[in-house]
Amino acid sequence: MKILEKIDAAALENQLDKGLYILFFTADWCPDCRFIKPAMPQIEEKYKDYTFIQVDRDENIDLCQELGIMGIPSFVVYRDGKEIARFVNKDRKTKAEVEHFLDQIA
């Protein structure tokens, strides 16, 4: 999984201008993020059409505010530079819930 450096929303959309991307918003201190992280390699393997990018909420707090990311872990899907779906809330997410969310998009 790629790690996103500090960036703003406009630069992010330019960076994601072609292709399918899933942004995984997380933080080291977040217990719910630590809960889903072990499942992420399996999720990435299952959804190979997507490029997964990990976004550290603390490093990119301004970006999170611009995008309305109020809880973590959260997932935002982009196609050709435009957001097409999001699974954003403050609740713990299971592997099955994340896969269900991604299956609805595919």
pLDDT of residue 106: 62
51 backbone dihedrals φ, ψ, rounded to 5°: -95, 120
Kindly tell me the burial class for residue 75, based on how many C-beta atoms sit within 10 Å of its own C-beta (0-12, 13-18, 19 or more). buried
Tokens of 82: 């435009």
Residue 37 sits in a domain of what CATH number?
3.40.30.10
- Whether 93 is in a domain gets the answer no
Q: In the prediction, which pLDDT does 7 show? A: 85
Q: What pLDDT shows up at residue 19?
A: 93
Torsion of CA 33, 7, 89, 97, to 10 degrees: -60
Q: Specify if 52 maps to a domain.
A: yes
Domain-located, residue 100? no
pLDDT of residue 27 exceeding 70, the answer is yes
- Mean predicted confidence (pLDDT) in 23-48: 95
Model confidence pLDDT, tens digit, residues 40-99 = 999 999 999 999 999 999 999 999 999 999 889 999 999 998 999 999 887 889 999 999
For the annotated catalytic residues, the residue numbers are 30, 33
pLDDT at site 33: 92
Number of domains in the chain: 1
Question: Where in the sequence is the domain holding 61, given as residue range(s)?
Answer: 2-76
